[in-house]
Amino acid sequence: MDCIFCKIIAGEIPCFKLHEDDETLAFMDINPANEGHALVIPKEHSTDVHAISESAIAATVLTAKKIASAIQETLGPDGINLVQCNGPGAAQSVLHFHMHVLPRREGDELKLNWGLKPGDMDAIGALAERVRAKL
């Protein structure tokens, strides 16, 4: 299957991993909308909220909670959005269910459908190490 997130799960494409368990994987987003932007995915492939199994979405949300707390401790943002996009109108670009863990700063003016910008890989890798230390 030609799914970039399945390839990350399989270790065929590298990622800045934060957490892995039997059902989920959490890693840094390489196109961060804000500093500390992370993704949580189920290992079981499904395209979106309509297709995902109840057990996979439950496991993904539990991991997202852990990651959000670790990011909160690491960066002390003013807030965190858990965002999940389904379909082109919601700007879903990767067709493997995922939750964004999105740190927010007051006044950052971030909007839904924020657009993809390449991140600084050295900074993202260094931050991943700091977040992992809080897990």
Question: What character string, x for contact with ligand DGP (CB under 6 A) and - otherwise, covers 92-131?
Answer: xxx---------------------x---------------
The alpha-carbon radius of gyration of the chain (Å, integer) is 14
The stretch among 17-25, 50-58, 70-78, 84-92 that binds ligand DGP (CB under 6 A) is 84-92
- Indicate which residue of 19, 45, 50, 98 is catalytic: 98
Do 66 and 74 contact (CB within 8 A), yes or no?
no
Helix (H), strand (E), coil (C) string for 48-87: CCCCCCHHHHHHHHHHHHHHHHHHHHHHCCCEEEEECCCC
Of 7-66, binders to ligand DGP (CB under 6 A) are 13, 15, 27-31, 39
Our answer to whether residue 98 is catalytic in this structure is yes
The residues that are catalytic are 98
